[in-house]
Amino acid sequence: MLIKRNFVVLFLLAFVIFFSSCSSVKKTALSDSDDKLSKKELTEQDQLDFVFYYHNAEKEKMLGNYKNAADLLFQCLKIDPSSDAVMYELADIYDVTGNTKDALFLSKKAAKLEPKNKWYQLQLASLYQKTSDYKDAIQVYQQLVNDYPHYIEFYYQLASTQMSAGDLEDAIKTFDLIEFKTGVSEDLCLQKERIYIKTGNIEKAVEEIQKLIHQNPRETKYYGMLGELYMANDMNDKAMEAYNKILEMEPNNPEIHLALAEYYRNTGNKEKSFAEILKAFSNPLMDIDTKIKILLSYYAITEKFEELKGQAFQLVDTLVVVHPDEPKAFSIQADFLFRDNKLKEARDAYKKVIALDKSKFIIWNQLFILESQLTNFDSLYVETKRALDLFPTQPTVYIFNGVACMQRKKYDEAVTVLKNGVEIIADDSLLSAQFYSYLGDSYHELKKDSLSDMYYNKTLSLDPQNAYVLNNYSYYLSERGVNLDKALEMSKKSNDIEKNNSSFLDTYGWIFYKKGDYANAKVWIEKAFDNGGSKSGTIIEHLGDINYRLGEAPKALELWKKAKETGEGSPLLDKKIAEQKLYE
């Protein structure tokens, strides 16, 4: 069936074009001299070929073969070089792929051939804007406004382009024309207000807001806008008049208190400013997210100005009273308390968060950290058991539970949970090393030395600088009296990593003791004593043992008695004191 050409044009206009990597415009089809292209009378075969190429171009575009689609469209142009519709579509292709120069060339051709086609003109204006040719873009939009006086969106596009061009007075005139046609609207008035502010014409800016108030005198947000405008231009008395109007109409409006807080802050009255913020926080009608944002600003500023912490905590306390069912309220309270080292209070606040919303793992994790710092291992054990059911894929739950088990001397249970946890770790060697180190500790307590050694070795293979494991592993080897050279090497490394640690120094000296080198043992354990070890019963007892080996029995007895006073020491300490003799 013969398809009429006018249907082909409509068919072409129905497409939305996306294209990449197109070839440049072929001068065989178009050239700069093609200013006056006459309409070509197509034969029936031409029409069929045209539709065939166009239909296949459509399919190529649908498949994403945009270069092929463009080539097929050029075949259409070979058949009908005057096809404005094909030029329009190709211009769209070039526009999408960033070839603005060729897009503009084709768009001009299409628009010239069909000057009354609004889609062609809109495309051309858009391309002019992209090339920052605002003057020509304005001319196109002005023509569109003349041709289609009832299309309000064309007026908006004209005004927007005039603003981009810096023709602010012309933009105001266009907005005025829109207002004449459509009436006063918030969008129009605010657009004009911004222009007037930019040009320094505050009086006219005020008039725009007052138009909105006149149109809707019960809308308090317009009085708020007016107050902000007055405040920004040091017209404080008039700003207060606007704010008082809001208070008169809506005394429970929480936003007005924030506006007044800003007013008093700008006028130097800090006490009244804070009082207004507190009123806003006390109002349950103000959404909690706004309050949280204010508290976050306090959190940041109190890092530098600690004198404001009192205000911050007053606001936090108000927040949790006004919003007792909001987990966010207790969460930010906990953050402030934690930063202020009020660990018990922070712990209690995190518990309240979990009671309201148990789905946030980050809150559970903070709670675990606090329980560990407070050495509340019974609570940690119970909480991590709950969390294991809620977050079975979070390795840190397993490690905290493992630590709680170890502290409660449930070493078999610790081994089980730690093994389960390490299996779910993906590509985190340091975290795996931490699990292995606790497994090493647990197996040591279970007297399974070979397994303990295996896990300590696995830890050090992943984290060779782990001073904690280097120290513990070497100390346990010395206590067993095995691999003392390896123990001495590991202990030296731990002391190189962490200087002046009394426990690490004691371990190093104790390995010398186990090797029978009592002189070196005394040197290093005295260093441990001088670096904080003077309050450690274990270190004091060790020093006593060394003195005994060096023939200084009275000094040894004195040290053993001092060790007993600390409440620490080995099971043989009492026997050493009673018989004034070394037992090992």
Domains contained in the chain, CATH given? 1-131 (1.25.40.10), 497-584 (1.25.40.10)
Q: Which residue do the tokens 């073969």 mark?
A: 65
The residue ranges of the chain whose pLDDT is under 50 are 1-36
Q: Which two tokens stand for residue 535?
A: 């309050």
Q: Which two tokens stand for residue 359?
A: 């789905």
Q: Which long-range contacts (CB under 8 A, 24 or more apart) does 373-381 make?
A: 373/343, 374/343, 374/344, 374/347, 375/407, 376/347, 377/403, 377/404, 377/407, 377/408, 378/404, 378/408, 380/404, 380/407, 381/405, 381/408
558 CB neighbour count, 10 Å cutoff = 14
The beta-strand segments (E) located in 215-301 are none
Q: Is 153 exposed, middle or buried (0-12, 13-18, 19+ CB in 10 A)?
A: exposed
Please report the pLDDT score of residue 38 as a whole number.
Answer: 56
Please report the pLDDT score of residue 55 as a whole number.
Answer: 85
Q: Residue 328 to residues 297, 323, 332, 479: CA-CA distances in angstroms? A: 16, 9, 6, 51
Nearest to 497 by CA among 454, 529, 465, 453: 465
Nearest to 407 by CA among 368, 373, 381, 369: 381
447-478 confidence digits (pLDDT tens): 999 999 999 999 999 999 999 999 999 999 99
CB 330, CB 353: distance < 8 Å: yes
Please report the pLDDT score of residue 486 as a whole number.
Answer: 97
In our burial notation (b when 16+ CB lie closer than 10 A, e otherwise), range 50-59 reads bbebbebbbe
**CA–CA gap between residue 530 and residue 40 (Å, rounded):** 104
CB 456, CB 437: distance < 8 Å: yes
**CA–CA gap between residue 170 and residue 177 (Å, rounded):** 11
Nearest to 291 by CA among 331, 346, 351: 331
Please report the pLDDT score of residue 68 as a whole number.
Answer: 86
CB 224, CB 212: distance < 8 Å: no
Q: Which residue do the tokens 């200013």 mark?
A: 35
